[in-house]
Each structure stands twice: as structure tokens, then as C-alpha cells.
Amino acid sequence: GLQRYQAVLKLVNSALDRYRDQGESDGFYPVVEELLVGYYDPMYDYQIQKKMNRVVFKGNADEVLAYLAERSID
């Protein structure tokens, strides 16, 4: 909660300072990474676990395409 918020806020402020002072936007990469890895990935995992009984197939892009092609209606 609070610790994660403070850590992300520090990253955001650092990125904003860098952008303001140097015009560089790559300081936002750590912000985006933290949000994706620290929040969205765990939320995705949590949500998918709740819905596993509805999942009919799981695989990479090529495997999904093959699975769908096998079941296509001509």
C-alpha cells in the first residue's frame, strides 16, 4: 500500500525532474515497469486464476492460431 505508493511517487517525481531539466522522457521507463510488474501482472494473474474454469485453451500465439484453425467452420 503506502510503501509501494511512495516508491512509485519517487520514481514519478524523478522522471518529471529529469524531463523538466533535460527534456528526456526515458526516466518514465522505470515508472511504467513498476506499474506493469508490480501491479498489473499480479492483478492479471489473480483474475485469470479466478476464471481458469472457463479457459478452454492456453498457449502462445502460434498455438492459439493452430487451435482456432482446427476448430474453424468452413
State pLDDT tens for residues 15-53. 999 999 999 999 999 999 999 999 899 899 999 899 999
Number of domains in the chain: 1
CB-based contact 56:71 (threshold 8 Å): no
How would residue 73 be classed by pLDDT, with cut points 50, 70 and 90?
confident
- Range(s) of the domain holding residue 46: 2-70
Residue found under cell 503506502: 2
Supply 31's cell numbers.
Answer: 515508472
CB-based contact 65:73 (threshold 8 Å): no
pTM of the predicted model as reported, rounded to 2 decimal places? 0.60
Residue type, 31: V
Contacts (Cβ under 8 Å, ≥6 apart) of 65: none
Model pLDDT, residue 1: 84
